[in-house]
Structure 1
């Protein structure tokens, strides 16, 4: 599920005689919502949320952050403008596109927004192939998006968004990478492409945003308090950590406390996905009593997609402790998973076999004094 249209406006969108809202005062707000060209026909849910800038949404009484206003039926409307010049097999034209950004860093993501048009009902269900290529036509990364193109009606526009990620070691500079688009038949063969009536091969290329280098990469091995060699699926290694042996001070609602530690990672292989680091504080019964889940690095600024092979990453972690946490010894466990509910990376043993989906770092003691 995704948002196809959104309108953000002040709560009081129209004139109101007072500069504040008295309790119990009803008022009317009008929020025109424009359906973008290319939105697929069908039933959509209309939802409402209220929030303050730079803060979370205001929750409803049931805890939900959105109010479901009910279904809205979007109907097919023929496109008004002329079809684009770039066409595939005289079935599909590319009417427009944008990247939303002019530059993007190594390892960072950006959206590719496409507006297609069916010149006629396509002959089959095709798959869109998107490739990031350099000046030598080397493919750095690719994505495939199967679509039910046989459901497209003649002259219908279809909006599509592909979220792309620049590889960590991609070349940098203006026009360092281009985006190549192809439509594939079910047997994998590409549709021929044309610019108006002129054949241009089996694909079209778009100039991509400028690629900027990642700042402050480090290939100098750090010196953690405790060294380790924990391999997560040959993608990342936990080479060490700083873990306090004890935390003093009883946390309470009035005086909260936290456990501060540092993880040291090294990139082992290319990562197409941004993994989340989890760190759990576990009691003697095996129950998780505190945790922190976040993208790695200071303020989450070191996503795993930006890790070059051999690069070292310092990852400070702050675990909030619950009030009235009993004193005693606790175990610290860490790992990586694909957010929000994806699988964890497996820890490999010396033989390269899966040996669990987390790593036990050590123990720390909670003290009252």
Structure 2
């Protein structure tokens, strides 16, 4: 059995002087290197808890990959926990904005669940999964993208009201900041 110590500080030596550091020769083995590296940035997992109109909670989301490269896209998955029946059919509105405000906003508004499951059909107790993609144009000068979202009823041009604005990041206009996605360079 091969014992490899990267760094060891022995408490008894602290009384005698500087700490003793033991480093194994040769660095990491190929197996250790594979275990410590990833081929792809993992999803960015976000918990939220935004309550929309007492009817729906945005329970969480993932962004895959966890950073976006200019000229490529990222997949966003939202998880809506249904609290009460919803009378109207809302769209998921999504505003993708440059963190520095140098780019034009991208709108990714869409029917939830790929248009297969309207909000008026959602049942209390269900968690509805909604997926969409965001795209960052090649050459975009931003370091990060902010993803803002909520539920919007287009006939009346109204958003489902955020009932717990002190609990989640928002802009005061019923737009929830889902998160900030770093841009890879």
Q: TM-score, normalised by structure 1?
A: 0.34
Considering only aligned residues, what root-mean-square deviation do their CA atoms show, in Å?
Answer: 2.6
Shift in Å, 1:274: 0.5
Counting only pairs closer than 5 Å after superposition, residues 120-131 of structure 1 correspond to structure 2 as none
Of residues 171, 174, 180, the one that matches 1:357 is 174
Counting only pairs closer than 5 Å after superposition, residues 79-228 of structure 1 correspond to structure 2 as 225-228=45-48
Unmatched 5+ stretches in structure 2: 1-43
Residues 1:329 and 2:160 are matched in the alignment: no
3-state DSSP class of the match of 1:270?
A: coil
3-state DSSP class of the match of 1:305?
A: helix
Residues 1:246 and 2:39 are matched in the alignment: no
Change (3 A) 1:334 1:288: farther
Return the alpha-carbon distance in structure 1 between the equivalents of residues 87 and 123 of structure 2: 12
Return the alpha-carbon distance in structure 2 between the equivalents of residues 350 and 344 of structure 1: 14
Shift in Å, 1:344: 0.9
Shift in Å, 1:284: 2.7
Q: Which residue number in structure 2 is paired with residue 339 of structure 1? A: 154
**Structure index of larger Rg:** 1
Q: Which residue number in structure 2 is paired with residue 302 of structure 1? A: 117
Q: Which residue number in structure 2 is paired with residue 231 of structure 1? A: 51
Contact 1:289 1:322 in 2 (8 A): no
Q: Which residue number in structure 2 is paired with residue 39 of structure 1? A: none
Return the alpha-carbon distance in structure 2 between the equivalents of residues 340 and 366 of structure 1: 35
Q: Which has the higher helix share?
A: 2
Unmatched 5+ stretches in structure 1: 1-223, 252-256
Return the alpha-carbon distance in structure 2 between the equivalents of residues 364 and 289 of structure 1: 15
Change (3 A) 1:311 1:349: same
3-state DSSP class of the match of 1:293?
A: coil
Shift in Å, 1:331: 1.1
Shift in Å, 1:285: 4.1
1:287-339 deviation line (CA, Å, top 9, x unaligned): 65322111111x22121011101111011111233453224112111111002
Residues 1:282 and 2:97 are matched in the alignment: yes
3-state DSSP class of the match of 1:245?
A: coil
**Relative contact order (C-alpha < 8 Å, sep 6+): which is higher?**
2
Q: Which has the higher strand share?
A: 1
Return the alpha-carbon distance in structure 2 between the equivalents of residues 237 and 350 of structure 1: 12
